[in-house]
Structure 1
Amino acid sequence: MPTGVHLRDVRKQLFQAAERVLLRDGPNALTSRAVTTEADVAKGVLHRHFADFDDFLAELVRNRIARTADQAALLHASAGTRTVAENLIDALTELFDPVSLALMSLVFFRDELRTRVRRHDNALPLLTEAREMLTAYLSAEREQGRIAADAEVNSLSLSLIGAGHLLFAGRRRGTLPEAKELQKMVHTLIADVVQRRLL
């Protein structure tokens, strides 16, 4: 590796390579050799910056969780704009992009990875942050009167995350559900708590 290359640049290069492997070949193809080959660096580079491959994967997941935190701030700020359904549809589409879905699969099936990234409350990484994001957004909409005052936003968020995950994960890798299908799912789940004109 050339001298003077910043640690953050190397990590970013490896993370981007891992995402490309996930998108092209799926979670089963994600190995340290596949990542370093895709990044066009020597295999030892990854192990110089991470304790082992599970440490690398944990940082990759944490990096995606940080992006979810950024998305959560933007979604929260959107409360009161457009319609509730439009905001939720956009949020779910971004939450369940192909890379995130592949990372969720890794977290589900790699016990060591799940242990490393799991929070103190034993919550499931990525999906828990997604639920918290939607709960905060729906709470903000409830405060603005666009959602019923007695709406159970935590349960609604769980329903949206569960249904959204099934809808997006059930597709061939890299493909999205049809817009009408996603719209129908969101409208159905929020119909009881959102005024018709604000759907």
Structure 2
Amino acid sequence: MPTGVAIRDVREQLFAAAERLLLRAGPGALTSRAVTEEAGCAKGVLHRHFPDFDAFLAELVLDRVARTEVRGAELLAAAGTGTVVGNVAGALTELFDTVAVAVVALVVFRDEVRARLRRTTPKGVPVLTEAARALARYLTAEREAGRIASGADTGALAPSLVGAAHLLFADRTAGPPDEAAVTRVVAGVLGPALPGTGN
């Protein structure tokens, strides 16, 4: 097997193990030993692919950021289809899956990881910042299509939606909110910006 493929497979295996630990026990449970044991590999494997454990965790967060950006592109492609509330509610449910919420907790919990991420995301919290950017782009496209009021401040609406959704999804003990709860919050935030009842 080519070296590049093997390295990528190991990275994915380690990331998946870290995500399982995050979901099961929170950011405090993440150590290099715990991750490699969860992944079923020797501890030295992690350090062969990452300079140190905080570098590994920063790469894990950046991997989640990349996934958020992909989902944001999919949301933008949906502009003009379905309903604005339905599209946003669906996107927020995907963006805030349980792993993404746990990754946000990791960023808040580990100062060194946050400091490393500041080099690529100088403002805001990674994952949340990218989600707000994606929503702002989508809402701007909908405003241009006439499905959001022409005076709507999409730059303010997007972080409001992200904050509201994060509060809904952040409780690790209660499980994710149901579709109706997410839709209700999105409709409440977007209501004044929607020019008609069909959006």
**TM-score (structure 1 length as normaliser):** 0.93
Say if 1:95 and 1:120 are closer, same or farther in 2 by CA, change over 3 A: closer
- Deviant stretches of 4+, over 6 Å: none
C-alpha displacement at 1:157, in angstroms? Answer: 0.6
Q: Which runs of 5+ in 1 are unaligned?
A: none
In structure 2, the residue matched to 1:134 is 135
In the TM superposition, residue 80 of structure 1 has moved relative to its aligned partner by 0.5
Q: Write out aligned runs for 1:4-153 (5 A).
A: 6-118=6-118, 119=120, 121-153=122-154
Q: Note if contact 1:92-1:164 (Cα within 8 Å) is conserved in structure 2.
A: yes
Give the aligned residue type for 1:108: V
Q: Deviation per CA, 1:137-190, whole angstroms, max 9, x where unpaired?
A: 0000001000000000011111101111111103516x1112222111111111
Q: Deviations over 1:50-75 (max 9, x none)?
A: 11110000000010111111111100
1:176 to 2:181 alignment? no
Percent identity for Structure 1 against Structure 2: 54
CA contact (8 A) 1:23 1:99 kept: yes
Residue 131 of structure 1: how far off its partner (Å): 0.5
Q: How many aligned residue pairs are there?
A: 197
RMSD, aligned CA:
1.8
Q: Which runs of 5+ in 2 are unaligned?
A: none
- Between 1:22-31 and 1:134-143, the stretch displaced more is 22-31
Post-superposition offset of 1:3? 9.6
Q: TM-score if structure 2 supplies the norm length? A: 0.93
